[in-house]
Structure 1
Amino acid sequence: MTIYISEEERICNIQRTFNQQFPHLKLEFYTQPHAHGGSYFGACCLPPDTPIEDIRLMHTFGWIDIGSLRTAAEVEHDFNRLLGLSIQIYQSKDGDWIETTVEDDCTLAQLNAECLDAARKAYRH
């Protein structure tokens, strides 16, 4: 699956599209990028109603591949390299949203399935 991102788009629309594909994952947007495996711990994420044109470092538009076989690191890298957008992927664990810093090399499908399995196990207990 791909997401088309134009300058007129708002963060919330991109987040919604991503979350429809991966219900146990979410995207947060920041003003600065982080290194591979790095964290945004303590940084403030941008409000969902923020227009892309207000935050991107490159004034371009395009498609981002968020296919299930892409890793979190690849998707984060593409947002930054192709569109100048700084994002972090989070996964739902035990009712909290956790950055995928340690799992950056896992695919989106693996990350989503891991959260689903954990939720099923918690439900059974």
Structure 2
Amino acid sequence: MQAILHISPSKYVYELQQEFSSIFPHLRLEFYRRPGNEAAAAAKQLIPKTMLFRDLGVMETAAVESGDEITVAVLEGFFLKKFGILAQVVRQSGTVWLETTMTDDWTLFQQNEHGRELSGGFHLSKDPAQEILSKHKWCDQ
């Protein structure tokens, strides 16, 4: 599937994140402030979803392909090279979200499919204990 993400100064971070997640429902796109030095790199600061890209230094409209054949590394590299913004793709794994740093050479399609497989059919009710108990016959006696 070919998909284009559009970035503009007047777009909010959450709007781009929603576009990305509508294409790849088992992936999320997170943005972090670029650390000033290597010592600060370990403590990445998440950019708020309600921030405008203008406030992150984006002064022009741009588009990035985010289709099935694009790798995580290419997408993340685009944001860093074009805008100086650290982007991180995270993949769903059950009820948690994991950074894809060890598999950045995978395509977005591969990442999304792996997230789907890891999360397939996994759903917790409001009361997880009751859901587990209801699956056992001895609970009905």
**TM-score clears 0.5:** yes
Matched, 1:31 2:33: yes
Q: 1:43: Cα distance to partner? A: 2.4
Q: 1:16 aligns with which of 15, 18, 42?
A: 18
The residue type paired with residue 64 of structure 1 is V
Match of 1:74 in 2: 74
Which is bigger in relative contact order (C-alpha 8 A, separation at least 6)? 1
Structure 2 portions without partners, runs of 5+: 36-40, 124-141
Could you tell me the TM-score, scaled by structure 2's length? 0.75
Name segments (4+ residues, structure 1) moved above 3 Å.
none
Question: Is contact 1:61–1:83 with CA below 8 Å preserved after alignment?
Answer: no
Q: 1:80: Cα distance to partner? A: 1.5
Match of 1:55 in 2: 56
Secondary structure (helix, strand or coil) at the match of 2:63 reads: strand
Matched, 1:88 2:84: no
The residue type paired with residue 72 of structure 1 is V
CA distance in 1, matches of 2:12, 2:91: 21
Structure 1 portions without partners, runs of 5+: 34-39
CA distance in 1, matches of 2:68, 2:115: 14
Aligned Cα RMSD in Å? 1.9
Identity of aligned residues (%): 28
Q: 1:121: Cα distance to partner? A: 6.8
Secondary structure (helix, strand or coil) at the match of 1:102 reads: helix
Give the structure with higher Rg (CA).
Answer: 2
Match of 1:109 in 2: 109
**Are residues 42 and 96 of structure 1, via their aligned partners in 2, closer, same or farther at CA, if it must alter by over 3 Å?**
farther
Matched, 1:120 2:120: yes
The residue type paired with residue 23 of structure 1 is P
Secondary structure (helix, strand or coil) at the match of 2:111 reads: helix
Could you tell me the TM-score, scaled by structure 1's length? 0.84
1:44-63 Cα shifts (integer Å, max 9, x gaps) = 3111000101113x532210
